[in-house]
Structure 1
Amino acid sequence: MSSSSASRPPTIDPVAARRWARQAPGDAAPWLHEEVGRRMEERLQWIKATPRRWVDWSPLRGGLEVHGRVAQRYPQAAAYVQEPEPALHAPTTVAFAAPWWSAKRWRGGRPQLFGALPEGGVDLLWANMGLHMAPDPEVLIAEWHRRVATDGFLMFSGLGPDTLMELRSAYRARGWPEPAHAFTDMHDWGDMLVHAGFAEPVMDMERIVLTWGTPEAALAELRTLGRNLHRDRFPALRGRRWRAQMLDLLAGLASDEHGGRIALTFEIIYGHAFKPVSRVAVAPESAIGLNDMRQMLRRGRDGA
């Protein structure tokens, strides 16, 4: 699928997505987000570049523990935090002011919150477990591209289309609407990266199976991971009867393979890509950004 309006999540309700983005998470990011971030942070060992400046995109939902892991990996790098949703500025500020976030512990100190990023961009933009909830991922990826410096790189993660496949199947069996919007395939995300101007995108995926002992525990954790943003989701408020039916459905997902526990699959997609020097098309008149021009002139002097 080419990168166009057709490659955007076709079933996501943008109004519901914006409403969810404004809702502050609980006291901590979901366990799954922190675990995915931990696995993504381990991938940094394979990247030779050492960032001098990096930014964490929406860390309150992406995970503060994994923010600390990246800060520990690059103790000399200046750290920044960007939160595109103003409603989350206050809780994010409180989280980073908490006593556990000590300069001594993380060595690099507290990051700069919400301010302007350095001229020319950052060397690493870190975005954990957010892209799959964006109403228009192409727009978001293009925004990330503008924030990354030339020769810098992006690292992100999100949910893939096989996520909740057991739950989707159970909903269909009961004739219910979809439990979640359709998540984008990693190849389409790769196309979007190239379309935005990134180079050498590398995409990979794995499946993580979460299990719970009771349907109540499963439902409680699922609520921390997001909301149903499908355009054709049930349009009214749910009642106690539906909750009882939902718990019954979840109980039916208990698996002998997992010791009789309720089991749900999450497809996790990881991606990274570099931002190359801009190429100017040959034309009577060409327009490029000031920062890109400076990079081109600097490279020209270095290569002379």
Structure 2
Amino acid sequence: MEERLQWIRLQPRAWADWAPVRGGLEAHARVAQRYPRAECFVAEEQAGRRQAAGAALSPPWWKRWRGAPAVRHAAGVPDAAVQMLWSNMALHLAADPRALMARWHRALAVDGFLMFSCLGPDSLRELRDLYRGLGWPPPASEFTDMHDWGDMLVHAGFAEPVMDMERLTLTWETPQRLLAELRELGANLHPGRFPALRGRAWRGRLEQALAGRLAGPDGRLSLTFEIIYGHALKPAPRVRVGAESAVSLQDMKALLQADKRPRD
């Protein structure tokens, strides 16, 4: 996703990283290196992760003394504060993705752009087949298709959404390593998931099934992940003409600024 930034001509004066602790601190560092003079907003809704992000991403004192751009940590981003919003692997975990897109839209300034990634419906298909064969409830949520994400972006007020995807195969040496990494990726949010705790006997049966059904010729266990990438712009607001029209102060400022731009 970071490589796609080379094709975008806009150089943001400020950008936001939404949930960087789960999305990857290494990815944050690469984006910050691409925009070394841009102010950064770090949005982490959970206090614990916000503290972790502050400890990992705040520049050292000697860089601040030399005039390094500010890094601001909060639960969200102020309205119209950034020209680019970056969200890696957060959207598929949102209980209300439309509400999250609306927050992103408000955070972006007019002509700003959104970059995000999330898991697609083909993710964990081998694990889903395994659970289904054993008669167990689903192991994960039903992830949304990229075309539906594009429609949601348009309804949220974004323009020119561009969606792309790729499939990756990850492998592990043992069932224990596989399960440990899946726990770090997120929780099972499926409404039909098993409603109680599982015992050691069930855990042993799961590990045995993983070793028997997911092993390839080299003995490593493999799972497929579909990664969806999205890019969209925040256009200038359109005001519907009527007998009476109500326009927010933020939209009015954006309209006035748009009128001042030179025309070809």
1:301 CA drift (Å): 2.8
User: For 1:233, what is the secondary structure of its paired residue?
Assistant: coil
Q: Distance in 1 between matches of 2:190 and 2:62?
A: 41
Instruction: Tell me the residue number matched to 1:270.
Output: 229
Alignment CA distance shift 1:169-1:270 (3 Å): same
1:121 correspondence with 2:117: no
Instruction: Tell me the residue number matched to 1:76.
Output: 37
Q: Which residue, out of 260, 282, 288, partners 2:241?
A: 282
1:117 CA drift (Å): 4.8
Note the alpha carbon deviations across 1:91-127, whole angstroms, 9 max, x for none.
Answer: 322333587x9839xx945511118856632100011
Q: List alignment gaps of at least 5 residues for structure 1.
A: 1-39
Q: Distance in 1 between matches of 2:75 and 2:88?
A: 20
Q: List alignment gaps of at least 5 residues for structure 2.
A: none
User: For 1:256, what is the secondary structure of its paired residue?
Assistant: coil
Q: Distance in 2 between matches of 1:102 and 1:271?
A: 36
User: For 1:203, what is the secondary structure of its paired residue?
Assistant: strand
Amino acid at match of 1:212: W
Q: Distance in 2 between matches of 1:212 and 1:172?
A: 22
Instruction: Tell me the residue number matched to 1:214.
Output: 174
Alignment of structure 1 residues 145-164 onto 2, 5 Å: 145-164=105-124
Q: Which residue, out of 44, 50, 57, partners 1:89?
A: 50
Let me know the Cα RMSD of the aligned residues. Answer: 2.1
Alignment CA distance shift 1:300-1:110 (3 Å): closer
Instruction: Tell me the residue number matched to 2:219.
Output: 260
Alignment CA distance shift 1:211-1:53 (3 Å): same
Alignment of structure 1 residues 127-206 onto 2, 5 Å: 127-206=87-166
Alignment CA distance shift 1:115-1:88 (3 Å): closer
Q: Distance in 1 between matches of 2:189 and 2:75?
A: 30
Q: TM-score, normalised by structure 2?
A: 0.92
Note the alpha carbon deviations across 1:44-87, whole angstroms, 9 max, x for none.
Answer: 01111111110111111111111111010011111111122334
Asked whether the equivalents of residues 59 and 71 of structure 2 are also in contact (C-alpha less than 8 Å), the reply is no
Alignment CA distance shift 1:121-1:223 (3 Å): same
1:195 CA drift (Å): 0.2
Q: Distance in 1 between matches of 2:171 and 2:73?
A: 36
Asked whether the equivalents of residues 17 and 28 of structure 2 are also in contact (C-alpha less than 8 Å), the reply is yes
Alignment of structure 1 residues 37-48 onto 2, 5 Å: 40-48=1-9
User: For 2:226, what is the secondary structure of its paired residue?
Assistant: strand
1:255 CA drift (Å): 3.9
Note the alpha carbon deviations across 1:175-217, whole angstroms, 9 max, x for none.
Answer: 1110011011111110010001000000000011000111111
Q: TM-score, normalised by structure 1?
A: 0.80
Alignment CA distance shift 1:103-1:214 (3 Å): same
Amino acid at match of 2:149: W
Runs of 4+ displaced beyond 4 Å: 107-110, 115-119
Q: Which residue, out of 32, 50, 59, partners 2:20?
A: 59
Amino acid at match of 2:87: A
Q: Distance in 2 between matches of 1:97 and 1:277?
A: 33
Q: Distance in 2 between matches of 1:57 and 1:268?
A: 17
Alignment length, in residue pairs? 261
1:236 CA drift (Å): 1.1
Asked whether the equivalents of residues 79 and 107 of structure 2 are also in contact (C-alpha less than 8 Å), the reply is no
Q: Which residue, out of 180, 188, 199, partners 1:228?
A: 188
Q: Distance in 2 between matches of 1:231 and 1:102?
A: 49
User: For 1:138, what is the secondary structure of its paired residue?
Assistant: helix
Alignment CA distance shift 1:226-1:205 (3 Å): same
Q: Which residue, out of 206, 209, 224, partners 1:246?
A: 206
Q: Distance in 2 between matches of 1:279 and 1:97?
A: 38
Q: Percent identity?
A: 57
